[in-house]
């Protein structure tokens, strides 16, 4: 399967590369297996392995091996680390940090990125990505959920605008807001469990 071209940054060659970089650079203290990175980027293990091998060759990441398993981690001492992190944060960063930021929100059932950011991910042209529109579905403490999203704003370098809908409201899809959101590009976040 050939990875699609990068929708969010012309400096990256594919969405797969952007997502792998985001997972590594936005979570620098964590290590990931090739399978973890492939699952996050929604590509095959061989595709993820090729991307990781390129990053290893450039010394942008390091690896530890445990038998046949490889644990990949960002090389925070690389001279281009900060520049790459800034590019990745702007482009694919929300997909890497929002799921873990929302982890502790009780009652959250589903989370979606919508609006211009989601449209760009679907290769639709639109306005510049100054903010991220986040839709939270479920019955949760809205203050707690807003604070969770707010905590990543500084890390992403942009505002995260949070909207809420109840589960039944989302399923019925009858309100004007829900109809509009459901008719446009959506990117569902895989919430950490």
Q: Which residue has the tokens 């398993």?
A: 69
Among 19-23, 30-34, 152-156, where is mean pLDDT lowest?
A: 152-156
Q: Which residue has the tokens 């509009």?
A: 180
Q: How many residues does the chain have?
A: 193
Per-residue pLDDT tens for 89-148?
A: 888 889 999 998 998 899 999 999 999 888 888 878 776 778 899 999 999 999 999 999
pLDDT above 80: residue 193? no
Among 11-25, 52-66, 104-118, where is mean pLDDT lowest?
A: 11-25
Is residue 177 within a helix (H) or strand (E), and if so which, with residue range?
helix 176-183
CA nearest 48: which of 8, 1, 80?
Answer: 1
The DSSP annotation for 18-70 comes to HHHHHHHHSSTT--B-HHHHHHHHTS-HHHHHHHHHHHHHTTSEEEEEETTEE
CATH 3.30.460.10 fits 97-188, yes or no: yes
pLDDT above 90: residue 3? no
User: Mean pLDDT for the chain?
Assistant: 88
Q: How many whole angstroms separate alpha carbon 51 and alpha carbon 187?
A: 23
Segment 47-68 shows an average pLDDT of 91
Query: Could you give the angle at the alpha carbon of 120 between the alpha carbons of 161 and 44, nearest 5°?
Result: 110
pLDDT band of residue 1 (cuts 50, 70, 90) is low
Asked if residue 129 lies in contact with residue 120, where contact means CB atoms within 8 angstroms, the answer is: yes
Partners of 62 in the beta sheet? Answer: 73
pLDDT band of residue 68 (cuts 50, 70, 90) is confident
Q: How many whole angstroms separate alpha carbon 52 and alpha carbon 34?
A: 8
Partners of 108 in the beta sheet? Answer: 138
The DSSP annotation for 86-117 comes to HHHHHHTHHHHHHHHHTTT-TTEEEEEEETHH
Enter the CATH code of domain 15-91: 1.10.10.10
- Residue 146: phi and psi, rounded to 5, are -65, -40
pLDDT band of residue 2 (cuts 50, 70, 90) is low
Q: Which two tokens stand for residue 143?
A: 């203050």
Domain residue spans of the chain:
15-91, 97-188
Is residue 139 within a helix (H) or strand (E), and if so which, with residue range?
none
């Amino acid at each position: 399967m050939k990875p699609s071209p990068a929708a969010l940054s012309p400096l990256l060659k594919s969405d797969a590369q952007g997502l792998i970089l985001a997972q590594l650079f936005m979570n620098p203290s964590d290590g990931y297996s090739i399978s973890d990175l492939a699952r996050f980027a929604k590509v095959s293990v061989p595709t993820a392995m090729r991307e990781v091998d390129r990053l290893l060759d450039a010394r942008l990441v390091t690896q530890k091996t445990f038998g046949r398993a490889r644990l990949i981690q960002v090389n925070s001492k690389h001279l281009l680390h900060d520049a790459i992190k800034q590019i990745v944060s702007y482009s694919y960063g929300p997909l890497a940090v929002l799921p873990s930021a929302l982890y502790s929100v009780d009652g959250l059932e589903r989370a979606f990125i919508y609006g211009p950011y989601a449209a760009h991910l679907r290769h639709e042209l639109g306005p510049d990505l100054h903010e991220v529109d986040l839709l939270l579905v479920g019955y949760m403490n809205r203050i707690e959920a807003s604070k969770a999203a707010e905590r990543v704003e500084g890390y992403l370098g942009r505002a995260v605008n949070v909207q809420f809908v109840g589960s039944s409201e989302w399923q019925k899809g009858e309100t004007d807001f829900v109809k509009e959101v459901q008719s446009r590009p959506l990117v569902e976040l895989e919430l950490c469990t």
